[in-house]
Chain A
Amino acid sequence: MARESSFNKKSRAVLLVVLGLFSIGQLFPLVWLIDFSLCKSGDVYGANILKIPNPPQFINYYLAWRDGKIPQYFINSVIVNVTSVLLVVLFSLMMGYAFVRMEWKWSNKVLTYVLLGLMIPIHATLLPNFVIFRQLKMLDSYFALIIPYVAFSLPQAVFLMTGFIGSIPRALEESAIIDGCGIFRILFQIILPLSKPALVTITVTTFLNTWNEFIMAATYLTSDKFRTLPFSVYNFAGQYASNYAVQFAVMTIVALPSLIVYIALNEQVTKGVTLGAVKG
């Protein structure tokens, strides 16, 4: 690496310290949150910036788990997200193939129409969708979230898929067609396995976006039954208004799944973010 050769050990150490300090600064709010989630509620009023929890108050996490309805909301989140992600992956694969490989007159126009969605802010659909869902008696159901989540993830996913499928050599499909393979077999037995990198990226970015989504969930769900994980935090602000430690515990729990997914799959997240942005 040429960039490193000009670079001695001492300045590398300085650089490490600078980056280290700044990243501690950037993460400090989270450290503070986790720290006080293990303390007694009143401790947060003390003068200390951080405090060693002595002994750690794991009961906060128990209360957060129980009163935050974490299990119920978590299951709702899983149902909504798994369905949304599967549909986005399936539809973007199908649409990507139809736009790139199939031959039809409207292909480009329809693709442009779908990519228009990249420019439309979700918030502009909140009000009309609320009215539509209410009219169709769809408010307060998993569909009220799955449908908009899929719709809003599709433009980005289709964008990534068309780019990726375009880069797959045609030779395999050609011989498959000559052998009498139908489109669906080509799609699921040839294109699908080859598109794995793109599909993983789509899966991870869609998952993170929809898992963390709150405003649509807050608008389209009116009863408690279908609420997703972010509501644990939201409800707590009122219910446990003065018990900060338990509030902080519930925030930590809710942040954890996304954090785990991100750390496990951070290569794919990075790819998803940068592909979408730099080429868009």
Chain B
Amino acid sequence: MYKVLSDKRTILLLVLPGLLIYTFAILFPIILSVYLGMTDWSGIGRPNFVGLENFKKIIFSDTTFWKSLRNAIFLALAYVFVQHPIALTFAILIDKIGGRAEKIFRTIFFIPCVIPVVVTSRMWVSLYDPQYGLINKILDFLHLGFLKQQWLGDTKTALISVIIICMWQGFGWALLIYYAGLKGIPEELYEAAMIDGATGVKLYTKITVPLLQPVIKVNFTIAIIYALKQMETVYLTTNGGPGDASQFLANYLYIRAFNSYQYGYANAISVLFVIACLAVNILFQKIFKPENYEF
């Protein structure tokens, strides 16, 4: 038995194909990126080694880099303080309604998350359009015409407009994760609390929210990493503009590489980007070490 399960050739055969493709397309490129980040390569010709020059420039004098990071923090805050409280509330409401309605609403709220980002992004470009967009029309309809904007085209509103798209898109995700957490809380706890006379909102603030803490932490971590990784929506709506008003890291490195042909510099941004993502992951795993709740 041990012989069969420890046969080296079989193990190699089982693990190697996946391992090779993973190493080839993920780990090796990251290592290459570290090297390219230390060159002044334009994408063609020979790379010229410049050491840590790019990194110094990015950290000490690239305002767009810091702006991109700041925008990601805004997005993360919007997720955590705006999207999540609403998502949690609706997860509780859906859980409460039960029956067929429960399943139907759960399905409906997740629909925006499964629609291709190209579609949702182009759709929001239309929704925000100053001439025919739905947003301005609704403002007119509500007699709030003075609030009408060039939503995506104005430095003042571009970032918030992009953040609204992201919150709309990711709402179902946040909701579904809270909902799954709610399902993990055993009925008996509510029954016991109700016998003790707890009702309504108290039931939720005293039982649901505290018991949901591990899930809330996981959901926060996911939201923050999502914010950091934001690219597609920005790329397809404002491309970071106007200026760098709605720029995000991944989109910024893309522009540097393919629009201004600063391939080496872009790779240096890419390396810092990976480091930021890893740091957030590790940090949050440390802070939010899932405690094991005994039910």
Chain A interfacial positions (CB closer than 8 Å to B): 1-4, 6-7, 12, 15-16, 18-19, 22-23, 26-30, 32-33, 44-45, 47-49, 87, 91-92, 94-95, 97-99, 101-104, 110, 113-114, 117, 119-132, 147-148, 150-152, 154-155, 158, 174, 177-178, 182-184, 187, 208, 211-212, 214-215, 219, 229-230, 233-234, 237, 244, 247-248, 251, 254-255, 258-259, 261-263, 266, 269-270, 273-274, 277-278, 280
Contact status A120-B190, CB under 8 Å: no
Given contacts A177-B4, A215-B231, contact A29 B123 (CB under 8 A): yes
Contact status A32-B110, CB under 8 Å: no
Given contacts A94-B17, A123-B250, A125-B29, contact A2 B194 (CB under 8 A): yes
Tell which of A28, A97, A127 touches B263, judged by Cβ atoms closer than 8 Å: A127
- Asked if B2 is at the interface of the complex by the 8 Å CB criterion, the answer is yes
Q: Which A residues are CB-close (under 8 A) to B236?
A: 214, 234
Q: Which A residues are CB-close (under 8 A) to B79?
A: none
Contact status B93-A18, CB under 8 Å: yes
Contact status A104-B173, CB under 8 Å: no
- Majority DSSP secondary structure for residues of A touching B: helix
Query: Can you name 12 A-B pairs with beta carbons within 8 Å?
Result: A3-B187, A19-B101, A23-B108, A26-B108, A94-B18, A95-B15, A101-B5, A124-B274, A127-B253, A151-B24, A248-B126, A273-B177
> How far apart are the CA atoms of A163 and B120 in the complex, in Å?
34
Given contacts A6-B199, A19-B90, A128-B32, contact A262 B111 (CB under 8 A): yes
Contact status A12-B97, CB under 8 Å: yes
Contact status A23-B14, CB under 8 Å: no
Contact status A123-B254, CB under 8 Å: yes
Q: Which B residues are CB-close (under 8 A) to A33?
A: 123, 126
> How far apart are the CA atoms of A95 and B15 in the complex, in Å?
5
Contact status B190-A3, CB under 8 Å: yes
Tell which of A26, A126, A247 touches B254, judged by Cβ atoms closer than 8 Å: A126
**Stretch from B51-59, B62-70, B134-142 that touches the partner:** B134-142
Contact status B277-A121, CB under 8 Å: yes
Closest to B251 in A: A123
Q: Which A residues are CB-close (under 8 A) to B115?
A: 30, 212, 255, 258-259
- Asked if B124 is at the interface of the complex by the 8 Å CB criterion, the answer is yes
Q: Which A residues are CB-close (under 8 A) to B19?
A: 95, 110, 114
Question: Which residues in window 142-191 of B have CB below 8 A to A?
Answer: 168, 171, 173, 176-177, 179-181, 184, 187, 190-191
Q: Which A residues are CB-close (under 8 A) to B123?
A: 29-30, 33, 251
Tell which of A7, A127, A254 touches B116, judged by Cβ atoms closer than 8 Å: A254
> How far apart are the CA atoms of A130 and B261 in the complex, in Å?
13
Closest to A12 in B: B97
With both chains docked as a complex, state the minimum distance between the C-beta of A5 and any C-beta of chain B, in angstroms.
9
Contact status A121-B180, CB under 8 Å: no
Q: Which B residues are CB-close (under 8 A) to A103?
A: 2, 5-6
Those 3 A-B pairs whose CB atoms lie nearest each other, nearest first: A151-B25, A274-B180, A91-B18
Tell which of B43, B127, B232, B273 touches A32, judged by Cβ atoms closer than 8 Å: B127
Contact status B134-A280, CB under 8 Å: no
Chain B interfacial positions (CB closer than 8 Å to A): 1-2, 4-8, 10-11, 13-15, 17-19, 21-22, 24-30, 32-33, 36, 43, 90, 93-98, 101, 105-112, 114-119, 122-124, 126-127, 131-132, 134, 137-138, 140-141, 168, 171, 173, 176-177, 179-181, 184, 187, 190-191, 194, 199, 215, 218-219, 222, 228-229, 231-232, 235-236, 250, 253-254, 257-258, 263, 266-267, 270-271, 273-274, 277-278, 281
Q: Which A residues are CB-close (under 8 A) to B8?
A: 104
Contact status A4-B98, CB under 8 Å: yes
Tell which of B94, B111, B263 touches A19, judged by Cβ atoms closer than 8 Å: B94
Tell which of A15, A122, A262 touches B97, judged by Cβ atoms closer than 8 Å: A15
Given contacts A94-B17, A124-B30, contact A274 B119 (CB under 8 A): no
Closest to A278 in B: B180
> How far apart are the CA atoms of A32 and B270 in the complex, in Å?
38
With both chains docked as a complex, state the minimum distance between the C-beta of B277 and any C-beta of chain A, in angstroms.
5
Given contacts A151-B21, A182-B4, A262-B110, contact A29 B127 (CB under 8 A): yes
Beyond A103-B5, A123-B229, A277-B180: 15 further Cβ-contacts under 8 Å? A16-B97, A26-B108, A33-B123, A45-B132, A95-B19, A110-B19, A123-B250, A126-B250, A131-B36, A147-B24, A177-B1, A183-B4, A187-B14, A262-B114, A280-B218
With both chains docked as a complex, state the minimum distance between the C-beta of A143 and any C-beta of chain B, in angstroms.
10
Contact status B11-A102, CB under 8 Å: yes
With both chains docked as a complex, state the minimum distance between the C-beta of B209 and any C-beta of chain A, in angstroms.
16
Given contacts A16-B101, A119-B277, A131-B36, contact A263 B176 (CB under 8 A): no
With both chains docked as a complex, state the minimum distance between the C-beta of A7 and any C-beta of chain B, in angstroms.
7
Contact status B24-A121, CB under 8 Å: no
Contact status B273-A2, CB under 8 Å: no
> How far apart are the CA atoms of A266 and B111 in the complex, in Å?
10
